[in-house]
């Protein structure tokens, strides 16, 4: 399946989510994030913003991957009108399990409809197709979409 053909779930509930981001240690590739949920609604789990999470294993050519990712892919994605937040973390420390990923990207939208609209646009299609180039430099990319939700109280 091509990166441009992404099946996205639908959303019905929503809450507001505030995200605070700042660079850590002056490294533009490492971002520290914290979130504060403001929950509304009467369901056991209230839904929040939608997150597109991308996990990049170690690239075959780190310099070429970094150059393409930060000079081509990120500028494309940042133009998506519904995108609310884009954070990138590099070289995470392994706690459990297999070796950690090289880079983790988190992209947030207000809701699934906004994300779907962006991916359906010509710019969204161009951004999704660009993942094919990234996959050449970094085989084994994993991505997923989910709604952020506050745990039940």
Full-model pTM = 0.69
**28 domain residue, yes or no:** no
Kindly report, residue by residue over 89-119, the tens digit of the pLDDT.
Answer: 998 888 888 888 999 999 999 999 999 999 9
Read off the CATH number of the domain in which 82 is found: 3.30.70.100
Residue 7 included in any domain: no
Give domain status of residue 40, yes or no: no
Whole-number pLDDT of residue 149: 82
Domain of residue 71, residue span: 46-149
**pLDDT category, 139, cuts 50, 70, 90?**
very high
- List own/partner pairs for 31-35 with CB under 8 A and 24 or more apart: 31/87, 31/88, 31/89, 33/87, 33/106, 35/148
């Amino acid at each position: 399946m091509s990166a441009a053909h992404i099946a996205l779930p639908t959303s019905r509930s929503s809450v507001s989510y505030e995200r605070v981001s700042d660079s850590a240690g002056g490294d533009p590739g490492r971002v520290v994030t914290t979130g504060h949920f403001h929950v509304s609604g009467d369901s056991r789990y209230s839904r929040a913003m939608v997150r597109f999470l991308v996990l990049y294993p170690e690239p075959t050519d780190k310099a070429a991957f970094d150059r393409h990712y930060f000079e081509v892919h990120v500028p494309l994605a940042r133009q998506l009108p519904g995108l609310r937040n884009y954070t990138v973390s590099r070289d995470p420390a392994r706690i459990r399990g297999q070796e950690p990923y090289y880079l983790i990207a988190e992209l947030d939208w207000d809701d699934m409809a906004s994300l779907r609209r962006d991916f359906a646009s010509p710019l969204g299609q161009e951004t999704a197709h660009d993942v094919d180039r990234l996959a050449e430099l970094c085989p084994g990319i994993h991505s997923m979409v989910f709604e952020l939700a506050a745990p039940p109280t």
